[in-house]
Chains A and B, each alone.
Chain A
């Protein structure tokens, strides 16, 4: 009875690990990293619009807060999607790193190690890629497309378009 239950426990643990691997849910550490980065990147344009487009924070703090929260949500959504896609590609590329995984007793350890490496690389790459795309779109929108608009409209439109396009592009494979 006990052997049977431990075997089913092992299977369910493996299944759990597989489910975790293929789900889009984030660990606490990844969540903290993503939301923290998204908040910082969303807050950076406040300085740009304050100093260059002359939007005083004391008069426009409500708009800045709303814009930052909305953009941070979309950027973190993009982070998650890109990380999910990249993680599996990186995981496949790591097959060459642990050649002896055919040994049964080391298989779990090597899989775990590969998973950790893929998780870390995918997270950092997703942040780098999405940040660079967001800032590029934001600069083009605020200095070229909407440069003749009033600063408030410029801020909302630039931030919405940059974060919206980021979220949209992240859903493609």
Chain B
């Protein structure tokens, strides 16, 4: 009885810790929030589909961005993954952003290489490069200022014409 229970536990733990063999990253989509007037922070989202040779689902993937690591989340099917993070609008940089995606094995190897200082040996599954054009911060000149200046010019014209008549 005890041996059966123990065997069931071993099967359960091995199933939850299953690895994705020869993962293929497909259908990569990226999006960023681009309006600082509607958001308090800039959000970055990478969505992709991962196909494993051993049909493993809901496996962890890791993304490396500027030396920081993030873990992925999966949807109900276990095949579609998403990695997302947010930064304060002022701190979020615009331009090209490179994100390296690792599986669990690759992540472990990268961390080892990081500690040893030799990053050349680390291999990622895929490097996703996308472009963030920056958040729209509103018009550089307030429209009410422009309208006030316009009416000021019109009034100046009216006043100078009146002075001509009176003189």
Known A-B contacts A133-B158, A136-B152; the reply to A89 vs B165 at CB < 8 A is yes
For B159, what are the chain A residues with a Cβ–Cβ distance below 8 Å?
A: 129
Further 15 A-B residue pairs, CB within 8 A, beyond A85-B166, A133-B158, A140-B148: A52-B144, A86-B162, A86-B165, A93-B165, A125-B165, A128-B158, A129-B159, A132-B155, A132-B158, A133-B155, A136-B154, A136-B155, A139-B144, A139-B151, A143-B144
List of 9 A-B pairs having minimum Cβ-Cβ separation, nearest first:
A132-B155, A139-B148, A136-B151, A143-B144, A129-B158, A136-B155, A132-B158, A132-B154, A135-B151
The docked-state distance in angstroms from the alpha carbon of A135 to that of B149 is: 11
Q: Chain B contact residues (Cβ within 8 angstroms of A): what range?
A: 10 to 19
- Does B7 reach chain A (CB closer than 8 Å)? no
- Does B147 reach chain A (CB closer than 8 Å)? yes
10 inter-chain pairs at a CB distance below 8 angstroms, sorted by A residue, are A85-B166, A89-B165, A125-B165, A128-B158, A133-B158, A136-B148, A136-B151, A136-B152, A140-B148, A143-B144
Q: Chain A contact residues (Cβ within 8 angstroms of B): what range?
A: 10 to 19
For A52, what are the chain B residues with a Cβ–Cβ distance below 8 Å?
A: 144
- B166's partner among A89, A128, A136 (CB-CB below 8 A) is A89
- Does A90 reach chain B (CB closer than 8 Å)? yes
Chain B interface main SS type: helix
Interface residues of B, Cβ cutoff 8 Å to A: 144-145, 147-148, 151-152, 154-155, 157-159, 161-162, 165-166
Chain A interface main SS type: helix
With both chains docked as a complex, state the minimum distance between the C-beta of A69 and any C-beta of chain B, in angstroms.
23
For A132, what are the chain B residues with a Cβ–Cβ distance below 8 Å?
A: 151, 154-155, 157-158
The docked-state distance in angstroms from the alpha carbon of A129 to that of B148 is: 16
The docked-state distance in angstroms from the alpha carbon of A132 to that of B158 is: 8
With both chains docked as a complex, state the minimum distance between the C-beta of A49 and any C-beta of chain B, in angstroms.
13
With both chains docked as a complex, state the minimum distance between the C-beta of A86 and any C-beta of chain B, in angstroms.
6
A63-98 vs B: 1/0 string, CB under 8 Å?
000000000000000000000011001100100000
The docked-state distance in angstroms from the alpha carbon of A140 to that of B145 is: 9
Q: Taking CB as reference atom, which chain B residue is nearest A135?
A: B151
With both chains docked as a complex, state the minimum distance between the C-beta of A84 and any C-beta of chain B, in angstroms.
13
The docked-state distance in angstroms from the alpha carbon of A133 to that of B140 is: 27
For A89, what are the chain B residues with a Cβ–Cβ distance below 8 Å?
A: 165-166
A93-130 vs B: 1/0 string, CB under 8 Å?
10000000000000000000000000000000100110
